[in-house]
Amino acid sequence: MRWTTISFLLFLMACKTYTNTSNVNREQPMSTIDKKIDALLAKMTLTEKVGQMIQYNGFYDATGPQPRGGDAARKYEHLRSGKVGSMLNVRGVDQVRAVQEIAVEETRLGIPLIIGFDVIHGYETQSPIPLAEAASWDLDAIENSAKVAAAEAAAAGINWTFAPMVDITRDARWGRVMEGAGEDPYYGSLVAAARVKGFQGDDLAQPNTIAACAKHFAGYGWSESGREYNTVDVGTSTLYNMILPPFKAAKDAGVKTFMNSFNDLNGIPATGDEFLLRDILKGAWKFDGFVVSDWDSIGEMYEHGYAANDAEAAMFAANAGCDMDMESYTYVEHLENLVNEGKVNEAHIDEAVRRILRVKFELGLFDDPYKYCSKEREQTIIGHESHHEAVLDLAKKSIVLLKNERSLLPLKDNDSYLVIGQLAEDKTSPLGSWRLAAKDNTAVSVLEGIENVSGKPALFKKGVQLTTDKATFVYPVPINTTDRKDFAEAIKAAKNVDKVVMVLGEHGFQSGESRSRTRIGLPGLQQELLEEIYKVNKNIILVLMNGRPLTIDWAAEHVPSILETWHLGSQSGNAIAEVLFGKYNPSGKLPMSFPRHVGQVPIYYNQKRTGRPDQKDGNVFFSHYSDEENTALYPFGHGLSYTWFEYRNLRVEVLGKTEVKVTVDLQNMGGLDGEEVAQLYIRDVAASVIRPKKELKGFQKVFLKAGEAKKLEFTLTENELGFFDNRGNFKVEPGEFHLKVGGSSENGIWSGFHLD
Ligand code: NOJ
């Protein structure tokens, strides 16, 4: 976690005296790749160099607005004249080969394109959305999911994914919380590293691995009010301790590229922020890959009110260290002139091109530009059975049992039950909102899953007489309209069954990019429907399908069983049904707190303490709301199982100045085998910069047979015990620490230790 120990003053001096634009460590003996890059660079004209820094959108999918300037129609002309280094949204072997052939065979130097695509949670075979994956707390499975995604994307001609998104997110109003690992920087860092390893493997030159991209650098998760693309204002403590660690972890895991973020960070658009890009990323962290802008984020510096025009935007971006322009057309229009006018140093251009070429060399594109273009691989690898097995495995692990009163779940053999809700039949929403290459209507729906797992055909047709033979019967009451026409029939049917499974939540595009919401309850008529059904049958199992924490306070109070199933990808219904029928014992834990009310947002477990944390003398002068509790409805780390676990005998041993050993006994107390995520939190009681009330610093996902006990051991070192001060120095301070191990951020047994 530690990336710099230099003081802020030295840091600033380093910024000021920065002249050599290449921070790549040149003292090392030159690698073969460096020699090749030098040789190629020597042959390149300025136009060709700038060309490497330009990325155009391809033919299929627009993942951003139409560019304001530039001339998209000229992209083929530019491709032919060596003015394009990369394309995005070109997919499929034929399409990729077509553009690659132009780059390789028709341009003077034949430099291959790097082909980027948003492979966020799968290519065609979809994994759970990243927030759901994070709920598994299974780093191997998360890595494997990225590996599967990389294999499919690589088989479709793609060699670079714009993932993982490693933005820490605390505001459920922001639609993109679905794309990250949630609210915790420690866990988020581990997930970031796992995803990078999964995409890139050990050897980027293999045909089934692709370059990854840590995004969005930096601060995007802090978009004010959760409103998409909004401004970001954060203090240094938050920047160093919350926002940057997962990026550093991605860098340490060898991520090849970074992407800028749309937001300004404390008044400077991230795309033009020298502090972020040159001082931290390429300077202190010695990142030697390249940085791509986000979609038109260079051009948007004009809209931000930072650049007076597009030329100035290009100048700021290039000088700050943004190596590649995605879709703003400002580099293609202005960069060469800016160099000729002396406004951008050609050394910056050389540096950017070196970085881009290095990744292309590492991918093996110079050895074989068509290595990702095998029709045979495309046909055999995409949608492979083993990929479906992998995403099913992760989908099951990602489900979180939020509540289960009276052991309503799992469904028992003699239960009769009814399924209500349009999402139960939906074969597209479970694919999530980043599903460009997945085919609509291909996810296993909840109803199909129920059929597959129970072995009984579901009676789907509305109006079918409910029989006593435990029929599954769905009323697809719509989620987003004012249409109550199916209410009466659903209510009538609900009266005659033991249990009602209500599949409610968000459709696939109610979360994701550009889907911020101010009301984060169940959309449409779903809350009303839930309450109406409850009036006639209290045995409701609420299956939530959504991309963000929702405000479900009414359900939490009334509904006995709640299962959080997110958008679980291609195998969604099978995974949900396995949990409903008890074939899989749920083991997921929330990576993000669920608020009681949207007014609490941003709400997160690792809050700082305030000067007035508690009520004294019955007065009102303490930090609270007068109409709502401070706590989350379901906190970070929460998740139940069909069995239950007990923590005992917490022992803490200080082994040195910065080494602490922790042991605890964990026992499965129920009658079923199950898995528990044992979480360790610390609290630095008094520090030179206030530390959060608690911070996750370790976890283990442990399988225990019914009745089985295990001793768990954790070691805390400098990385876990320290923090960044407001000048970016990492330090461990002596003093008192509290420590807790338990099954969520709210539960557990406490102990403590003292560091001398
Ligand atoms: C905009 C998004 O912010 C980014 O994450 C994505 O990779 C690009 N569009 C490309 O689609």
Per-residue pLDDT reduced to its tens digit, 255-312: 999 999 999 999 999 999 999 999 999 999 999 999 999 999 999 999 999 999 999 9
pLDDT band at 23 (very low <50, low <70, confident <90, very high): very low
Whether the Cβ atoms of residue 356 and residue 114 lie closer than 8 Å to each other: yes
Residue 543 falls within a domain, yes or no? yes
Q: Cis before residue 216, ω within 30 degrees of 0?
A: yes
Residue 472 and residue 415 in one domain: yes
The residue whose CB lies within 8 Å of the most ligand 1 atoms, and thus the one to mutate among 60, 259, 291, is 259
Q: Is the pLDDT assigned to residue 7 strictly greater than 90?
A: no
Residue 606 falls within a domain, yes or no? no
Q: Which atom of ligand 1 is nearest to the CA of 179?
A: 5
Ligand 1 binding pocket includes 64 (Cβ within 6 Å): yes
Ligand 1 binding pocket includes 565 (Cβ within 6 Å): no
Q: Is the pLDDT assigned to residue 15 strictly greater than 50?
A: no
The residue whose CB lies within 8 Å of the most ligand 1 atoms, and thus the one to mutate among 55, 63, 158, 178, is 63
Residue 204 and residue 317 in one domain: yes
Question: Which residue pairs from 57-62 have beta carbons closer than 8 angstroms and sit at least 24 positions apart in sequence?
Answer: 57/87, 57/88, 57/89, 57/327, 58/87, 58/88, 58/89, 58/90, 58/91, 58/95, 58/99, 59/89, 59/90, 59/95, 60/89, 60/90, 60/91, 60/95, 60/436, 61/89, 61/436, 62/89
Residue 256 and residue 183 in one domain: yes
Whether the Cβ atoms of residue 620 and residue 707 lie closer than 8 Å to each other: no
Q: Is the pLDDT assigned to residue 150 strictly greater than 90?
A: yes
What integer pLDDT is reported at residue 58 of this predicted model?
87
Q: Is the pLDDT assigned to residue 210 strictly greater than 90?
A: yes
pLDDT band at 473 (very low <50, low <70, confident <90, very high): low
Residue ending a domain, among 600, 633, 657, is 600
Q: Is the pLDDT assigned to residue 5 strictly greater than 90?
A: no
Question: Which residue pairs from 234-237 have beta carbons closer than 8 angstroms and sit at least 24 positions apart in sequence?
Answer: 234/265, 234/266, 235/726, 236/726, 236/727, 236/728, 237/689, 237/690, 237/724, 237/725, 237/726
User: Closest residue (by CA) to atom 3 of ligand 1?
Assistant: 294
Residue 359 and residue 490 in one domain: no
Q: What is the CATH number of the domain that holds 726?
A: 2.60.40.10
**Among residues of the chain, what percentage have pLDDT more than 70?**
92
Whether the Cβ atoms of residue 172 and residue 549 lie closer than 8 Å to each other: yes
The DSSP element (H or E) to which 339 belongs, if any, is helix 336-340
Q: What is the CATH number of the domain that holds 70?
A: 3.20.20.300
CA 295 to centroid of ligand 1, rounded, Å: 6
CA 299 to centroid of ligand 1, rounded, Å: 15
- 49-59 in b/e burial notation, b at 16+ Cβ within 10 A? bbbbbbbbbbe
What integer pLDDT is reported at residue 63 of this predicted model?
83
What integer pLDDT is reported at residue 417 of this predicted model?
87
CA 403 to centroid of ligand 1, rounded, Å: 35
The residue whose CB lies within 8 Å of the most ligand 1 atoms, and thus the one to mutate among 513, 514, 516, is 513
- C-alpha 310/C-alpha 499 separation (Å) is 61
Residue 466 falls within a domain, yes or no? yes
Tell me: the pLDDT tens digits for 647-663?
Answer: 999 999 999 999 999 99
Q: Which atom of ligand 1 is nearest to the CA of 89?
A: 11
Ligand 1 binding pocket includes 215 (Cβ within 6 Å): yes
Residue 629 falls within a domain, yes or no? no
pLDDT band at 481 (very low <50, low <70, confident <90, very high): low
Q: What is the mean predicted confidence (pLDDT) over 706-710? A: 98
User: Closest residue (by CA) to atom 4 of ligand 1?
Assistant: 294
Ligand 1 binding pocket includes 63 (Cβ within 6 Å): yes
Q: Which atom of ligand 1 is nearest to the CA of 215?
A: 5
Maximum distance among all alpha carbons in the chain? 82
What integer pLDDT is reported at residue 753 of this predicted model?
98
What integer pLDDT is reported at residue 158 of this predicted model?
98
What integer pLDDT is reported at residue 731 of this predicted model?
97
Residue 504 falls within a domain, yes or no? yes
Provide the residue range defining the domain that includes 652. Answer: 645-755
What integer pLDDT is reported at residue 66 of this predicted model?
74
- C-alpha 545/C-alpha 564 separation (Å) is 7
Residue 666 and residue 586 in one domain: no
What integer pLDDT is reported at residue 578 of this predicted model?
98
Residue 197 and residue 318 in one domain: yes
CA 294 to centroid of ligand 1, rounded, Å: 6
Residue ending a domain, among 347, 379, 411, is 379
Q: Is the pLDDT assigned to residue 4 strictly greater than 60?
A: no
Lowest mean pLDDT among 391-395, 400-404, 592-596, 616-620: 616-620
Tell me: the pLDDT tens digits for 543-587?
Answer: 999 999 999 999 999 999 999 999 999 999 999 999 999 999 999
CA 263 to centroid of ligand 1, rounded, Å: 13
CA 175 to centroid of ligand 1, rounded, Å: 13
CA 709 to centroid of ligand 1, rounded, Å: 46
Tell me: the pLDDT tens digits for 92-137?
Answer: 999 999 999 999 999 999 999 999 999 999 999 999 999 999 999 9
Residues that are catalytic = 294
Residue ending a domain, among 585, 600, 615, is 600
What integer pLDDT is reported at residue 261 of this predicted model?
98
pTM (predicted TM-score): 0.95
Residue 547 falls within a domain, yes or no? yes
Q: What is the mean predicted confidence (pLDDT) over 338-344? A: 98
Computed over every residue of the chain, the mean pLDDT equals 92
Residue 198 falls within a domain, yes or no? yes
Ligand 1 binding pocket includes 220 (Cβ within 6 Å): no
CA 296 to centroid of ligand 1, rounded, Å: 10
Residue 592 and residue 683 in one domain: no
What integer pLDDT is reported at residue 472 of this predicted model?
52
How are beta strands 561-564 and 114-117 bridged, if at all? unpaired
What integer pLDDT is reported at residue 333 of this predicted model?
95
Q: Is the pLDDT assigned to residue 601 strictly greater than 50?
A: yes
The DSSP element (H or E) to which 493 belongs, if any, is helix 487-494
List beta partners, residue 684. 737
Tell me: the pLDDT tens digits for 407-466?
Answer: 999 998 888 888 998 899 899 999 998 999 999 999 999 999 998 998 876 654 443 333
CA 173 to centroid of ligand 1, rounded, Å: 19
Q: Which atom of ligand 1 is nearest to the CA of 163?
A: 7
Q: Is the pLDDT assigned to residue 2 strictly greater than 70?
A: no
Tell me: the pLDDT tens digits for 27-44?
Answer: 557 899 999 999 999 999
Ligand 1 binding pocket includes 162 (Cβ within 6 Å): yes
- C-alpha 211/C-alpha 205 separation (Å) is 10
The residue whose CB lies within 8 Å of the most ligand 1 atoms, and thus the one to mutate among 57, 89, 294, is 294
Residue 345 and residue 197 in one domain: yes
How far is residue 107 from each of residues 36, 323, 499, 558, 571, measured CA to CA in Å? 19, 21, 66, 67, 44
Ligand 1 binding pocket includes 294 (Cβ within 6 Å): yes
Residue 83 falls within a domain, yes or no? yes
What integer pLDDT is reported at residue 422 of this predicted model?
87
Overall number of domains in the chain = 3
CA 293 to centroid of ligand 1, rounded, Å: 9
Residue 408 and residue 291 in one domain: no
User: Closest residue (by CA) to atom 11 of ligand 1?
Assistant: 63
pLDDT band at 83 (very low <50, low <70, confident <90, very high): very high
Ligand 1 binding pocket includes 258 (Cβ within 6 Å): no
Residue 315 and residue 429 in one domain: no
User: Closest residue (by CA) to atom 7 of ligand 1?
Assistant: 162
Q: Which atom of ligand 1 is nearest to the CA of 220?
A: 3
Tell me: the pLDDT tens digits for 506-542?
Answer: 999 999 999 999 999 999 889 999 999 999 999 999 9
Lowest mean pLDDT among 33-47, 235-249, 605-619, 640-654: 605-619
Q: Is the pLDDT assigned to residue 12 strictly greater than 90?
A: no
Residue 595 and residue 656 in one domain: no
CA 185 to centroid of ligand 1, rounded, Å: 22
CA 172 to centroid of ligand 1, rounded, Å: 19
- C-alpha 111/C-alpha 54 separation (Å) is 13
Q: Which atom of ligand 1 is nearest to the CA of 261?
A: 3
Residue with tokens 């046909």: 379
User: Closest residue (by CA) to atom 10 of ligand 1?
Assistant: 63
Q: What is the CATH number of the domain that holds 435?
A: 3.40.50.1700
Ligand 1 binding pocket includes 161 (Cβ within 6 Å): no
Q: Is the pLDDT assigned to residue 54 strictly greater than 60?
A: yes
Residue 588 and residue 687 in one domain: no
User: Hey, what are 408's tokens?
Assistant: 């309503």
List beta partners, residue 213. 257
Q: Phi/psi of residue 680, each to 5°?
A: -115, 130
Q: Which atom of ligand 1 is nearest to the CA of 165?
A: 5
Q: Determine how many CB atoms are found less than 10 A away from the CB of residue 413.
A: 8
The residue whose CB lies within 8 Å of the most ligand 1 atoms, and thus the one to mutate among 91, 118, 176, 262, is 118
Question: Which residue pairs from 367-372 have beta carbons closer than 8 angstroms and sit at least 24 positions apart in sequence?
Answer: 367/205, 369/100, 369/103, 369/104, 369/112, 370/97, 370/100, 371/207, 372/93, 372/96, 372/115, 372/154, 372/155, 372/156, 372/157, 372/158, 372/159, 372/207
Whether the Cβ atoms of residue 694 and residue 682 lie closer than 8 Å to each other: yes
**Among residues of the chain, what percentage have pLDDT more than 90?**
84
In what side-by-side order are the strands of the sheet with 749-755? 695-704, 674-684, 735-742, 749-755
Higher model confidence: residue 401 or residue 498?
401
Whether the Cβ atoms of residue 344 and residue 319 lie closer than 8 Å to each other: yes
Ligand 1 binding pocket includes 295 (Cβ within 6 Å): yes
